[in-house]
Structure 1
Amino acid sequence: MALTRQTMTDEQRKSVALEYLKAFDKAGVTSDGGSILDLFAEDAQVYFPKWGLADGKEAIGRLFGDVGGTLKSIVHHYAAFNWVFSGGDVIVCEGTSHGEHKDGPWRAGVPDWGAGRWCDVFEIRDWKIQRCFIYLDPDYAGKDSARYPWLGR
């Protein structure tokens, strides 16, 4: 297979990342009715806290199935996103969300220490996500508070 490199602008990379985030809000379905996995390169990597590193589309599908299976709904707050562009293939999106986990609802800022704030680091090339590392607190319902004494104050 020949290596191809299509030049992309930051706005084009951002559009791919937005399509990915919007697909999450629609249970993994993209705006054209496809699968969220269609947005990924065959050998892409995704990291999710407490799950680990998924290598390739098959493993990414398992990760999304595992994580998505714990969520009843999720809504990303697009108007409040912060974007950081590297001038290369890497872009970063920081944002907030709300939704319902199987253990209960969450909303960014309620409480302030709870779930809902996140940061995704994307590497996007040739209109495909090559890498997406997701940084967030996966304890959506805030059940893991006994191990952190400052939360009781």
Structure 2
Amino acid sequence: MAVKPIVIHPAEVLETKTKAVDCFDKKLTKLLDDMYDTMLELDGVGLAAPQIGISKRVAVVDTGEESGRIDLVNPEILEVKGSQTDIEGCLSFPALYGTVERPNYVKVKAFDKKGKPFTIEAEGFLARALLHEIDHLDGVLFISKIIQYYTEKELAEMEG
């Protein structure tokens, strides 16, 4: 396990659609484990492979809810419903936060690290985290969806 350096915007890899994984091997397992360790070390709730400079359709999410760690390999959004608006940040955009509107419900089909397909349905914060990471895999950055920007100081004042 190793903590990897985060790619900071601007970087071409962050705005490029990733390539699908076609080999489910020990290297993929190591990549997912390293991504998970990196995400935890930096206090994130999700991390996509482009954020560590790898253009593969791989992400990890763990919002600290009962779902625990979710490894997403070649995820595909099957369905979205509803709407929610909340403040998001991104490890590739240090100290930048903004209000983003996203669907409140998402149904995602993906593969685990062994190549076994699964489907996950999520609402609220977990749906937001899944959608944010899948956007990364499509080269879509949250800054393209921000309605209003916030500084760290403004966030601290809001949390009071």
The answer, yes or no, to whether TM exceeds 0.5 is: no
Q: Which has the larger radius of gyration?
A: 1
TM-score tier by shorter-chain length is: under 0.3
The TM-score, its normalising length taken from structure 1, stands at 0.25
Task: Name the one with the larger helix percent.
Answer: 2
The TM-score, its normalising length taken from structure 2, stands at 0.24
